Amino acid sequence: MNSARLAAGFIGAGNMGQALIAGLVNGGMAPERIGIAEPDSARATALQQRFRGLVALPAQALAAQAETLVLAVKPQQLPTLAPTLAAAVTGAKPLVVSVAAGISTEQLAGWLGPETRIVRAMPNTPALIGAGIAGLFAGKNAEPADRETAERLLGAVGATVWVDREEQMHAVTATSGSGPAYIFLMIEAMTEAATRLGLEPETARQLTLATAAGAARLAAESTESAAELRARVTSPGGTTERAIAVFGERGFADLVDAAMRAATERSRELGA
Ligand SMILES: NC(=O)c1ccc[n+]([C@@H]2O[C@H](COP(=O)([O-])OP(=O)(O)OC[C@H]3O[C@@H](n4cnc5c(N)ncnc54)[C@H](OP(=O)(O)O)[C@@H]3O)[C@@H](O)[C@H]2O)c1
């Protein structure tokens, strides 16, 4: 490893870029080993004040100096931006990790060069508090060490899972990428229903949030499946049974299935 090189360079230091930088620094990486290329100079300066020593460079210089180059700009910016990095990437050969939704490793290799080692990641917004989960896919030139590097990078802000086929990234997007919004929707609906049932809004909010967080943690830590845990709180003739029956009558599982199919379809369209 050439110690003069930056360990990680972020093209784009918006929400996701900043979450990853914070994760790396919290995990012990010196800000001096991290670079950003960010056109919003106020944002770049604020980040350099937050992380003393963070290096700001033009995108091409960053691509030439970073061992791992993280593409964290909006997907629609990549078709114009990525080709401008091709010469630096072909020369310096960084591992490229892209978090851009819907952009395939093949498209990236088309812009950056066919030999580029690429890992694609789909993180989610709980990464902002270190509680994310990212789906990862290794492009054809990525080596085992590249997988480890990408896993460490995304692992700094949450859990990671690998998929074997790039096509599966659409399902990852529909599950964990968009998933936080489904859970927020459930939280909104339960809070509003509880308020209509007569609780103060703040009480409704507290009860709902703690229930969502507690149920998720119980499901994660238990050896029993979610279905078994649900059956356990559903006593015959009880209140939960009555509520679950209404969910069933109104087609809750079908609704979730249709919503996630729609998200998958949209992810395919965006990548087309
Ligand atoms: N946020 C999420 O939950 C999430 C989840 C999964 C995947 N992602 C992916 O992560 C990527 C970034 O999302 P985000 O939410 O972090 O977006 P964002 O907050 O808009 O960040 C993108 C940053 O890149 C900068 N930028 C634009 N053009 C650039 C260029 N030519 N060179 C260098 N930097 C440039 C933008 O600056 P300006 O503001 O000045 O344009 C902005 O600061 C997207 O591809 C998205 O699909 C995000």
- Residue 61 counted as domain residue: yes
CA–centroid distance, 92 to ligand 1, in Å, is: 23
Range of the domain at 70: 6-165
**Domain count along the chain:** 2
Same-domain check for residues 53 and 157: yes
Among 15, 40, 73, say which to mutate for ligand 1: greatest number of ligand atoms within 8 Å of CB: 73
In short, whether 154's Cβ falls inside 6 Å of ligand 1 is no
* Whether residue 156 is found in the same domain as residue 217: no
Ligand 1 centroid, distance to 179 Cα (angstroms): 19
CATH number at residue 40: 3.40.50.720
CA distances from 201 to 132, 184, 187 (A): 28, 16, 12
Gap from CA of 56 to ligand 1 centroid (Å)? 16
Is residue 24 located within the same domain as residue 124? yes
Q: Half-sphere exposure of residue 180, counting CA atoms within 13 Å on the CB side?
A: 11
171 lies in a domain?
no
**Both 209 and 74 in a single domain?**
no
Distance set, CA 139 to CA 14, 152, 183 (Å): 25, 17, 31
Distance 75 CA to ligand 1 centre (A): 8
Based on the domain organization, do 75 and 210 belong to the same domain?
A: no
- How many Å apart are CA 163 and CA 234, to the nearest integer? 35
Taking a C-beta distance cutoff of 8 angstroms, is the pair 108, 271 a contact? Answer: no
How do the pLDDT tens digits run along the chain, 272 residues long?
445 799 999 999 999 999 999 999 999 999 999 999 999 999 999 999 999 999 999 999 999 999 999 999 999 999 999 999 999 999 999 999 999 988 999 999 999 999 999 999 999 999 999 999 999 999 999 999 999 999 999 999 999 999 999 999 999 999 999 999 999 999 999 999 999 999 999 999 999 999 999 999 999 999 999 999 999 999 999 999 999 999 999 999 999 999 999 999 998 888 76
